[in-house]
Amino acid sequence: MTTPTSTAVPAATRRAVLLQGNEAVAEGAIAAGARFFAGYPITPSTEIAEVLSRRLPEVGGTFIQMEDEIAGIAAVCGASLAGTKALTATSGPGFSLMQEMIGFATMAQIPCVVVDVMRGGPSTGLPTEPAQGDVMQARWGTHGEHSVIALVPSSVEECYTLTVEAFNLSEQYRTPVIILSDALIGHMREAVVLPEPGTLRIAERGTPDCEPDEYDTVTSTLDNILPRPPLGSPFRVHVTGLVYNRRSGAPDTSDPAAAADLGRYLREKIYHHRDAIVRVEEVEMHGAEVAIFAYGSVARSAMAVVRKLRAEGVPVGLVRPITLWPFPTLAVDRMAEQVRTVIVPEMNIRQMSWEVQAAVRGRAKVIDYGRVDGKLITPDEILELVKPEFYYHSWEDA
Amino acid sequence: MAERAGTGAAGSDAAPAARVEMRCSGSGGQGILLAAAIIAEAAAALGRRVVQTQSYGPEARGGASKAEVIIASEPIDYPEVQHPDVSLVLSQAAYDKYAADTRPGGLLIYDSGLVEPDPADESVVRCGLPFTQAASDELGKKVVTNIVALGALVAVSGALPAAAVLEAVVSRVPPRFRELNEQAFVLGLRLGEEALAMLATSSAARTS
């Protein structure tokens, strides 16, 4: 008889593997415990579906190619209500089709993960080229007052780790979580050492800490968000897109106080935990006089500029939101108090720079720089924006 | 001096270059993306830092497409290649669109049966080899042209040890095509080594 041996080896000796961003999202989903994918293929997200169509059956999961994106996310909501961690993946046009159901999932508090691998748009646009034009669609694409969580990977490794994180946040806060990748990150291959299984935190759904017949007597609070029991369990659950009573879950559209209670709760259950949710990477911000605020693939170009200029003694730093929504207000506050100029390069026209400007509130100059031709902003372009901010620096000698 | 585009010596014990940027270009369907992915796979297996990106149109066949690889010892931030040290070009359209970006003194490897380079361009080391013709004549399969070209690129550039790249070739192709692809790679290595010897000779003749 053979006994299974541990495959655990120290991270340092684990071999790097070459993975594409989209493959890393798929593997991250498997690692997070996702066992259901439904969606409709679209460039540049298709590899996520392709890999999961092979991998999910291997781990006892289910893959369904639906007739369109609306059906895709509807099936994902159904799977999640039945107790299974579920995701879908798409690009801009499909993300638009999903917006109504993202609102339903927000209202009905259904944990799920939606991956939007952004490409040039609107419409069919530039199907194979990267863009960041959906960052506001992620925030405001669905209707009604709502909160949202959106994460932006800058590397293949983050495609993996942030997918795990997205599932954790969606389970913890019972809400859809959006991953905003792009055509460049999604199709890029990098040598990565993936975290050892077991070293990543995995949030499980759990069951309510009460008897089934007591379930409609307890109410979630901001600090104790009760898990939803799966459909078919002894717990009686009510799922509706209507405004509902937060205790019983039953529709109640006649009581303004109940509607206000739910509306504020759906927003505050995210914003109350903003500090725990929001992650920002601050690079070389010590003594920085100018900051570059950049996310996703553009942050890589910004990083190249910061490295180059710091080596020349020019005090430039990078603020890279990993969580784009909720907006990283605290980090932007710190930045606004410190630097005289914030440069916001992005592959859209002013979508996040408006948000940065609002948060900076005049404490620093905000320079926006947009590109919408499907090409990644280069380090040289960012460098040209930085130079005039250091007019006293002898650039010819640099 | 044998021109090796500053990428280190093939299969030798010489320390690898700190950073090598490569661009494979051609028309959709020629397998240039697979060639780039194989280079990246080999570099990853050798423990190098590597990033591979690609750019192609919405069409599955035709058009000028490119796939790029950066191999480095430092972290790779900006992931795209602006001035490749090594350019592999498998179509005239790709030559017209991308070849001029090659770093001065860099290496331009092209399919001599499909690409007519600008004879006036002396800024790069040119190496034209009949990849498609050789794949067709010697192996009877034009479909492995990309792997023949990959073998030549490895031999001429010396960017990575040939054995490591061959291992990556084997791992990336379906088992039933393994032998064919091994043959294609070895054929490319041979063509590349012959070309390298000629480059060295002509270079010596020029400097004497």
- Residue A237: give the domain boundaries: 212-274
pLDDT of residue B11: 42
Residues of chain B with pLDDT under 50: 1-13
In sequence order, the 6+-apart residues with CB closer than 8 A to the CB of A68 are: A40, A97
Measure the N-to-C terminal CA separation of chain B; round to a whole number of Å. Answer: 11
Under the banding of pLDDT at 50, 70 and 90, the label for residue A187 is very high
Other CB atoms within 10 A of residue A242 CB: 13
Q: Which of A26-30, A205-209, A312-316 has the lowest mean pLDDT?
A: A205-209
* Residue A383 at interface with chain B, using a CB cutoff of 8 Å: no
Domain boundaries along the sequence of chain B: 19-207
Number of structural domains, chain A? 3
Specify the pLDDT at position A5: 39
- H/E stretch holding B25 reads strand B19-28
Q: Report pLDDT for A237.
A: 87
**In terms of domains, do A45 and A180 share one?**
yes
The CA-based dihedral angle spanning residues A116, A117, A123, A126, taken in that order and rounded to the nearest 10 degrees:
170
Looking at the structure, tell me whether residues A188 and A218 fall in a common domain. Answer: no
Domain-embedded: residue A2: no
Determine the average pLDDT of the residues in A319-332.
98
DSSP B123: S
| pLDDT value for A4 | 38
Chain B contact set for A18 (CB, 8 A) = 37, 40-41, 44-45, 50, 52
Does residue A222 share a domain with residue A126? Answer: no
A178 and A304 part of one domain? no
Pairing of strands A365-370, A341-346: parallel
Q: CA A265, CA A32: separation in Å to the nearest integer?
A: 27
| Within a domain: A370 | yes
Domain end point (choices A158, A192, A226) = A192
**Domain B19-207, CATH:** 3.40.920.10
Q: Tell me which chain B residue has its CA closest to the CA of residue A377.
A: B78
- Determine, for residues A18 and B52 on separate chains, whether the beta-carbon distance falls below 8 Å: yes
Of A17, A128, A188, the CB nearest to B56: A128
**Contact residues for A167 (Cβ-Cβ < 8 A; gap 6+):** A29, A32, A33, A34, A85, A87, A111, A113, A177, A202, A203
CA distance A316 to chain B (A): 16
Based on the domain organization, do A219 and A314 belong to the same domain?
A: no
Is the domain of A135 the same as that of A240?
no
pLDDT of residue B14: 58
pLDDT of residue A126: 95
Domain end position, chosen among A143, A161, A192: A192
Residues whose CB is less than 8 angstroms from the CB of residue A130 and which lie 6 or more positions away in sequence, other chains included: A44, A118, A119, A120, A182, A183, A184, A185, A297, A347, A374, A376
Q: Decide if A376 touches B, using CB distance below 8 A.
A: yes
Q: Give the closest of B44, B77, B80 to A303, CB-based.
A: B77
| Residue A36 within a domain | yes
Q: What is the pLDDT of residues A341-372, one digit of tens each?
A: 999 999 999 999 999 999 999 999 999 999 99
Instruction: Indicate the helix (H) or strand (E) that contains A75.
Output: helix A69-81
Q: Please report the beta strands in chain A, taking only residues with DSSP state E, as ranges in sequence order.
A: 17-20, 36-39, 62-65, 86-90, 112-120, 126-130, 149-151, 176-182, 189-192, 280-283, 290-293, 316-321, 323-325, 341-346, 365-370
Instruction: Quote the minimal CA–CA distance from B139 to chain A in Å.
Output: 30
Amino acid B140: pLDDT: 97
DSSP structural state of residue B51 = E
Our CA-based measurement puts residue B200 at a distance from the nearest CA of chain A, in whole angstroms, of 34
Question: Is A254 in the same domain as A284?
Answer: no
pTM of structure? 0.93
Pairing of strands B19-28, B62-72: antiparallel
> Is residue A32 located within the same domain as residue A74?
yes
In a domain, A166, yes or no: yes
d(Cα A99, Cα A138) in Å, to the nearest integer? 9
For residue A4, being part of any structural domain is answered with no
Q: What string of H, E and C letters represents the secondary structure of B141-204?
A: CHHHHHHHHHHHHHHHHCCCCHHHHHHHHHHHCCHHHHHHHHHHHHHHHHHHHHHHHHHHHHHH
φ, ψ for residue A372, nearest 5 deg: -130, 30
pLDDT for residue A215: 84
**What is the Cα–Cα distance from A15 to A209, expressed in whole angstroms?**
42
Q: State residue A14 phi and psi, 5-degree precision.
A: -70, 140
Confidence (pLDDT) at B206: 64
Question: Cα distance from A17 to chain B (closest Cα, Å)?
Answer: 6
Render pLDDT for B116-137 as a digit per residue (tens, 0 to 9): 999 888 899 999 999 999 999 9
In a domain, A201, yes or no: no
Is the domain of A302 the same as that of A316? yes
Same domain? A250 vs A291: no
* pLDDT of amino acid B60: 64
Q: Which of A27-41, A215-229, A271-285 has the weakest average pLDDT?
A: A215-229
Interface of B with A (CB under 8 A): 37, 40-41, 43-45, 47-58, 76-80, 82
Give the whole-angstrom CA distance, residue A91 versus residue A185. 13
CB proximity under 8 Å: A 176-205 to B? 184, 187-191
CATH classification of the domain holding A73 = 3.40.50.970
Calculate the dihedral angle through the C-alpha atoms of A227, A233, A237, A238, rounding to the nearest 10 degrees: 120
Provide the shortest C-alpha distance from residue B31 to chain A (in Å). 16
pLDDT by residue (tens digit) across A29-40?
999 999 999 999
Q: Is residue A203 part of a domain?
A: no
A269 and A284 belong to one structural domain? no
User: What is the share, in percent, of chain A residues with pLDDT greater than 70?
Assistant: 96
Q: Which of A223, A255, A274 is the last residue of a domain?
A: A274
For the record, the structure tokens of B133 come out as 């013709």
Mean pLDDT over A260-282 rounds to 96
Q: Are residues A264 and A284 in the same domain?
A: no
Contact (Cβ atoms closer than 8 angstroms) between residue A93 and residue A42:
yes
pLDDT band at A13 (very low <50, low <70, confident <90, very high): low
Residue of A24, A188, A170 lying closest to A106 (CA atoms): A170
A379 interaction partners in chain B (CB closer than 8 Å) = 77-78
Comparing CA positions, the residue from A64, A67, A101 lying closest to residue A81 is A101
Residue of chain B with shortest Cα separation from A184: B53
Question: Tell me, what CATH number does A339's domain have?
Answer: 3.40.50.920
B80 closest CB neighbour out of A17, A189, A376: A376
Average pLDDT of chain A? 94
